[in-house]
Every structure is written in structure tokens, then in C-alpha cells.
Amino acid sequence: MDKYMKKQILLCLLGCLVAGVVRATEVPQVANVMARQITSLNGAWNYIVDVQEEGYYDYRMNPTRWGFFVNAKPQRPEDLIEYDFDKAPTMQVPGDWNTQDDRLFFYEGTVWYKRSFEWHRNGDHRTLLYFGAVNYEAHVYVNGKLAGHHVGGFTPFNYDVTDLLREGENFVILKVDNKRRAENVPTLIFDWWNYGGITRDVLLVDVEPVYIENYRLQLESLEGRRLSFSVRLNRPEAGQQVTLNIPELKLKKTVTTGPDGTATIFMKAKPQLWSPDNPKLYQVVIQRGTETLRDEVGFRTIEARGKQLLLNGKPIFLKGISIHEEKANGGGRANSTADAHTLLSWAKELGCNYVRLAHYPHNEYAVREAERMGIMVWSEIPVYWTIAWTDAGTYANAERQLTDMISRDQNRANVIIWSIANETPHSAQRDEFLSRLARHARSLDSTRLISIAMEVTSASNYKNRLQDNMSEYVDVVSFNQYIGWYRDVNDASKMEWEIPYDKPVIVSEMGGGAKYGLHGDKNQRWTEEFQENLYRENLAMLDKIDGLAGLSPWILKDFRSPRRVLNGIQDYYNRKGVFSDRGEKKKAFYVLQEWYRTK
Ligand code: GCB
């Protein structure tokens, strides 16, 4: 053994002693991940479908130390190992499993994923393993060791895996489980496809020991055009200098972090304001030593004044449409700028300046593409229907999803509303849960509006009155209503609305189903004419709502749902799209387009 090797071994032993057991740690989400030093682990991953979780539990249902995550290989000819990732088929990551393997179309359960990768130490740098989203529950293993466990299918998470990595070849294995459970968020029932798998990007992120974890750059107020910039390092380190540079504004400022590793600065500037008519974004460069992050940031204000919504101080009407994160043609989870662009172009053609990204945080590409296209966004977490209101773990899970959604998108000028729930049944426990969430959202971000999709499901004497204890916690009062579909047909013209709150009103859903190409009388359900008439009657009714500030009908495109079983019509699609699942326009599209022309 030469001297050099001896030294290496000694160092290694010392490292192990200091670190105790070698392990990974979950670290707060790194913001603006695409601007970092990244290596993509997207592509073909081997997978094993594990219906009974044989790769995790032994035959007495105890978690086994010899699970699939160790990636065992026979050492001798007589060795018994009943799985082999390298002989298993592959699927594309990111991507849902349901549309990549016919056998998995309806599957809800566990699938194991594995891929190998090369890694080389980069001085004292750290390596984070980042997932854009995994639906729903993920156990992540690196070289056979648990890196971490995550629940929640639509938000990013990352682990510092440096201490689990070795020079050269490494492997990462995931156990992904999308079984529905009562205490999950969303819970057992929800009206969309439970696409399972590693549905968003997987990246290795190379960071220095100290790095910029997140930052926030925004317009504080229109008066005096004050910008604020705050930055947070990954650890409480004082004296770090961070420079913000916005060349087009000739603005360059340096801040020094305090003992908690954060710094904030206010400055005067006169940026052009971001708006749907002029979605102006500025190139921004943030630097700390040798670390450089680039971003595109827009500046605007959004506020509610009485029943008015003001963008940059001027009243605005939100001409919207709701969207699920499903590919434009043929379905499957969407996860690319191109996917987003197609859907958002359809919304634009409809005349939209706004979209409701339902019912969970969509991928970052979609939010950014909407921002470039001048489309405002309502972003929400899947606190949907019958959540387990009294379960502490459920609350913690919802709060975590809310936190991660906000920390990912807090610099997006187009995101104007955080919504924390959809159509939840009233009760004291639900009020407690939702008011806590609303307060939490406000504590994280006081610059955007908070809403909840409430509901009105009946009216006495045709008088619809919105009544919800949560109204005092929101800035914008929103509700879903289905007159003409779940409620009486053809009585929209008789309906009156009373919304007893001095806040802007958004109708967050309305609509009805139609099968593209099915024609008939306007009273015949499932025909395009029925849906067209429903839109006509509803839009005329909405015009009479005092304080109506926006609308996001349900929905842009037919989307997959296991609850929609009517043969020959639904075939596991919710047919309320104004586009079919293949992107064909239904008649209702033109009614809505015409109405938006007048707004
Ligand atoms: C709703 C839900 C939405 C459903 C829709 C429907 O109120 O918010 O998720 O898909 O109704 O089609 O019933």
C-alpha cells in the first residue's frame, strides 16, 4: 500500500467516525433547479411491478433488510435471487407508468425503479438528488442505502446524497407506491386519473458546501416602484456576499448575509410591468462567489379592493379555463414545455388571460411557459373533497405540499392566486384545518391572493347564496357551480346569486359533458348542442353576478377519470372539456370564446 492510499483510507475512516453512519439527508428544495449545475437522470429506467410488495416486506410482513433496494446479484451458481433489475423492462422517466405498459393502465400499487449512473467527486462540492415529483409515495435508495422517504405526488424534493455516492458507477432505486389511502392528500376519491410513477425530472445537482437555496425578487409596491430581493443560503452562514444584477434595469446590488444565512434589500427601479398584454420578463443574474444563478423575472402587483381585482393597480377580469396536467393528445401525465405550450395555446385561442391549474401543483415548465405567454395562474394543492380533517399527519402533509408549491413558484409573476382546497364538506374540523392552511400560506407569501374553491349546490326559490365560514380567510371568494348539469337543466335564467362578502368573486368551475361529434337536440345529454346551450345559459346568468371578477369553466380538455364509466360516451374520460381528449373543438368552445371577446 503506498502512502497516498494509506492517507485516503485514514481520511475515509475518519470521515465515517465523524459522520457516524453514512447517510443522506433531506434538504429544503433548491429553487430554480434548471439554472444549477445539473446532470439529468431522465431516460430509460428498469422497473419491476411488485403487487404484494415482496421487495419490501418479508413473508411475515416485516420490512426486510434484503429488499429489492439492495439490488442483489447471484454470487454463486446456486444462489437464489428472484429478481433482477438488469433483466427487467424499461420505461421512460419522467412519465407515468399507466400509459407506458398496458398492464399498468388501472394499476395502483408499488413499482420499483432502478437506474445506474456515473458520478465523480467534485472537490468539496455536495450532490443533491432532486425529484420534480413522484406520485405518490417514494422510498429513495442510493447504492442500497435509504436516502429518504417522501409523500405527496406533485411537489419537488431533494436529498443530499454525497455520502452515499462512490467514484464511478452508482445506482439509484425507488419504491414508488400510488395506492390511495384515506389519510392521503388527495384522499381515497378524486375525479382524475391516479397516474403513478416518477412523473417529473430526476436530476443530480452539484452544489458548493454553501449555496443559495432560494431567493425572492419582486415588486413591493407600485408607488415609488420599490423592488425587494431576499436570499437564503442552505445554512446559517454570516458574511456571504450575494450580488443581484438586472442588466436591463442597470441595477446591481450586493447584500451580505446575516448570522441566519439570509439577507434582504429594497431598491428603487422602474421596470416595465408584467401583464397579459406585455409579459415582460427581465434577465436576472444572482451571484455568490463562484455560484451563478440565472432567472427571468417579471414585476407586477395583484390586489383585491372591495369586489375588484387589480393587476398593476387596474381592474382586470380573469378570462380563464381549468386545466388538468394531461398531455394534449392521448393523455398521460404532461411534463414538458412543449406539452404545456399546446394546452396553453388552446387556452389562448379561447381568449384566456388566466388558467386554473387544477387540482394540484403542475410542473414548473407549465407555470413558466404560462408566464412567458402572458397567462395568469391559479395554483392549488390537492386538498380535495373528503380529506381526513382530524389526522395530524394529513395536515402536516397538506402544509408541506403548500410550502413546497410556494417555494418553487414564488418568483413567478403570473401566479396570482394560491388556492388551498376544492369542494370540501363543511364541518368545524374542516374549518380548523383550512383556516390553519390559509394562515400558513399568508405567512409564507403576503404578496399573492388566497382562495378556496367553495361550492353552492342548492337554492331555495332560485336564490343561490354562498355561505362558507372560510370566506373570512380568503382574499377572493371562489365557488364551483353546475347548474344545468348536476343541478336542474335549463333553469339558469331563473337563478339569482347572492355573495354576501365584499371580495372579488371567481366562478372556479361550471360546465357539463359532451362527447365530441355526438349531435342532437339541446336537451339531449352528452351532445355538443346540450353543452353549447348549457354554456349559453350559464354565461348569461354569470353576467348578473355582482362583483364577478373571473371564471375558469370546467375544463379545457376531456381528461381521464376512473369515475367516468359510461360505456360509449365516457369510457373513463370526464367529458366536460371544450376540447375532446384529441384536441377537437366542441361547440361550447365558440360560445365561451365569444363571451370572452366581450370581456
Ligand atoms: C367538480 C370538481 C372536479 C370534477 C368536476 C366534475 O366540482 O372540482 O374535480 O371533475 O366537478 O366534472 O364533476
Residue nearest to atom 7 of ligand 1 (CA): 480
**Choice from 554, 564, 573 to test ligand 1 binding pocket (greatest atom count within 8 A of CB):** 554
Residue 223, pLDDT score: 86
Q: Is the CB of 558 under 6 A from ligand 1?
A: no
Residue nearest to atom 10 of ligand 1 (CA): 191
**Choice from 359, 360, 423 to test ligand 1 binding pocket (greatest atom count within 8 A of CB):** 423
H-helix segments, 454-551? 528-542
Using the atom order of ligand 1, give the atom closest to the CA of residue 423.
8
Return the SS3 of 83. coil
Residue 16, pLDDT score: 43
pTM of the model: 0.96
Residue 68 CA to residue 55 CA, distance in Å, equals 5
Q: Is the CB of 32 under 6 A from ligand 1?
A: no
**Which of 587, 598, 488 has its CA nearest to residue 540?**
598
**Which of 322, 320, 326 has its CA nearest to residue 348?**
320
Q: Is the CB of 363 under 6 A from ligand 1?
A: no
pLDDT in tens, 483-497: 999 988 779 999 999
Using the atom order of ligand 1, give the atom closest to the CA of residue 486.
13
Residue nearest to atom 3 of ligand 1 (CA): 191
Residue 3, pLDDT score: 46
How far from the centroid of its chain's Cα atoms is residue 285's Cα? 25
**Gyration radius (Cα) of the chain, Å:** 26
pLDDT in tens, 441-480: 999 999 999 999 999 888 888 999 999 999 999 999 999 9
Return the SS3 of 449. strand
Assess contact for 595 and 573: CB atoms under 8 A. Answer: no
Instruction: Calculate how far, in angstroms, residue 191's C-alpha sits from the geometric centre of ligand 1.
Output: 6
Residue 329, pLDDT score: 84
Lookup result for grid cell 447584500: 255
Residue 7, pLDDT score: 45
CB-CB neighbours of 592 under 10 Å: 23
Residue 32, pLDDT score: 98
Assess contact for 503 and 497: CB atoms under 8 A. Answer: no
Q: Is the CB of 576 under 6 A from ligand 1?
A: yes
- Which residues of the chain carry a pLDDT beneath 50? 1-20
Instruction: Calculate how far, in angstroms, residue 478's C-alpha sits from the geometric centre of ligand 1.
Output: 14
Residue 325 CA to residue 380 CA, distance in Å, equals 12
Q: What angle do CA 416, 368, 453 make, to 5 degrees?
A: 35
Residue 446, pLDDT score: 92
> What ranges make up the beta strands (E) of 381-530?
415-422, 449-455, 463-465, 476-480, 496-498, 505-509
**Which of 309, 304, 300, 314 has its CA nearest to residue 225?**
300
Instruction: Calculate how far, in angstroms, residue 187's C-alpha sits from the geometric centre of ligand 1.
Output: 15
Instruction: Calculate how far, in angstroms, residue 199's C-alpha sits from the geometric centre of ligand 1.
Output: 23
Q: Is 394 exposed, middle or buried (0-12, 13-18, 19+ CB in 10 A)?
A: buried
Q: Is the CB of 408 under 6 A from ligand 1?
A: no
Q: For residue 386, what is the enclosing H or E element?
A: none
Q: Is the CB of 509 under 6 A from ligand 1?
A: yes
Instruction: Calculate how far, in angstroms, residue 514's C-alpha sits from the geometric centre of ligand 1.
Output: 15
What are 574's strand-pairing partners?
559
**Choice from 480, 555, 558 to test ligand 1 binding pocket (greatest atom count within 8 A of CB):** 480
Instruction: Calculate how far, in angstroms, residue 189's C-alpha sits from the geometric centre of ligand 1.
Output: 12
Using the atom order of ligand 1, give the atom closest to the CA of residue 358.
9
Instruction: Calculate how far, in angstroms, residue 512's C-alpha sits from the geometric centre of ligand 1.
Output: 10
Q: Is the CB of 423 under 6 A from ligand 1?
A: yes
